[in-house]
Amino acid sequence: MSRYPARLEEGHGGTLLDPPRPRPPDARRRPRRVAMLSVHTSPLHQPGTGDAGGMNVYIVELAKRLAALDIEVEIFTRATSAALPPSVELAPGVLVRHVAAGPYEGLAKEDLPAQLCAFTHGVTRAWAGQRPGHYDLVHSHYWLSGHVGRLTAERWGVPLVHAMHTMAKVKNANLADGDTPEPAARVLGETQVVGAADRLIANTEKEADELLRHYRADTDRVAVVHPGVDLERFRPDARGVAAGRAAARSRLGLPQDALIPLFVGRIQPLKAPDVLLRAVALLLRERPWLRERIVVPVVGGPSGSGLARPEGLQKLAARLGISDVVRFRPPVGQDRLADWYRAASVLVMPSHSESFGLVAVEAQACGTPVIAAEVGGLPVAVRDGVSGVLVPGHDPADYARALYAFAADPARTARMSEAAVRHARSFGWATAAEAMADVYTEALLHRSRGAREGQPH
């Protein structure tokens, strides 16, 4: 059992609910409306482009499921075009509000701290037009939003729940070659947000431990809530995994008998797509006969430090002599992405750091096993030896060996596919939303008790 006041626990079987605990009569009051903050990336943006990724999926899916629990969500994000309307209904009960803060285009994430005052002003202006108590709670995502969150939550007299998603100290301890360290200003900013939040959301027990170790977070304020996956969209074909794989390959123009190791994600050193390419080059050098039956799709766009060399991965493929087997594809919508998962023999995630790894769970939900780095939350997202393979470190030779195991034993994909589907089913968004609602409830209760007793949060 976790030492954190979490609603969800890790286990080999996936996600389990804590047993209910006795509560005072007023403890179950859930918030009616939550102000959710996502400064640097909009939930309306296509994941896999720019700074949009797993966090975008997380915010969209969590908001939808919270709305299904009668918790309205208003998501504040920075306007990136003058043509954007002030607000957009994302789903029933979920509203996206666009806040003018800095130039619409050409503003890098690193330049956003200078616009936080303007963003905070925009959020408080929206609040000023509402009745007192319009928002019961603020939920901020990533450290930039956390700064806005601590100011607005204090002004409104409501709890702040914050999700780090990634942490500067953790990323800096696991930098890829050529990647840029996170600045000291971010480390300081994260420390301030950790001190201000009523509750801190960690994706896994390991992330919770990192919050305590690196940022000296208060154990009682850390809650572990696993992210979820859209099990309606990401699922095997109704005809079965094998038939679905064949159909998906046909739709995508991929050969039926190929070994297809798939990479999905933003193209940047942190995600380490270069490790996959180097592994494939090693594999083909040692077993050249595989060249005729291997296709390596890379689905995603440049992001972060990868923007400095947007063609870098294509050039690497050329230098390695594998341009003929690598297929670069731009980011795609969720339905098309599910087809790529179904078509693949295995998903490869050699990331240097992952707070959880939603892509890994999405692939498994479609029946595709995963080869992943044994970092961050990936040991929770992937069940080693059952639904996939965890690789210690980032040596391309280790990934080449893992890939060859699938090439040498085609039935291995079939065996792991069923286990992958079972494992992924424990990560539904409905379960995650219920757990998050419980965290909100505890934050509200703790805040109201502190107000009655004249104590800080």
In the annotated binding site for 1D-myo-inositol 3-phosphate, the residues are 40, 51-56, 109, 142, 166, 186
Look up residue 345 and give its two tokens.
């023999």
- Rg (C-alpha) for the chain, rounded Å, is 22
Query: Is 75:99 a contact under the CB 8 Å cutoff?
Result: no
Per the annotation, binding residues for Mg(2+) are 341-342, 344, 368
Look up residue 440 and give its two tokens.
């909100």
Measured between alpha carbons, how far is residue 332 from residues 42, 325, 423, 429 in Å? 16, 20, 25, 21
Per the annotation, binding residues for UDP-N-acetyl-alpha-D-glucosamine are 46-47, 54, 266, 271, 332, 354, 362
- Map residue 252 onto helix, strand or coil: helix
Residue 366: Cβ-neighbour burial (10 angstroms; 0-12, 13-18, 19+): buried
CA distance between the termini of the chain = 26
Look up residue 207 and give its two tokens.
């992330």
DSSP string, 192-230: HHHHH-SEEEESSHHHHHHHHHHH---GGGEEE----B-
Residues 128-136: contacts with CB under 8 Å, at least 24 apart: 134/33, 135/33, 135/34, 135/35, 135/74, 136/31, 136/32, 136/33, 136/34, 136/440, 136/444
Per the annotation, binding residues are 40, 46-47, 51-56, 109, 142, 166, 186, 266, 271, 332, 341-342, 344, 354, 362, 368
Which amino acid would we find at residue 190?
Answer: E
Separation CA 183–CA 271 (nearest Å): 19
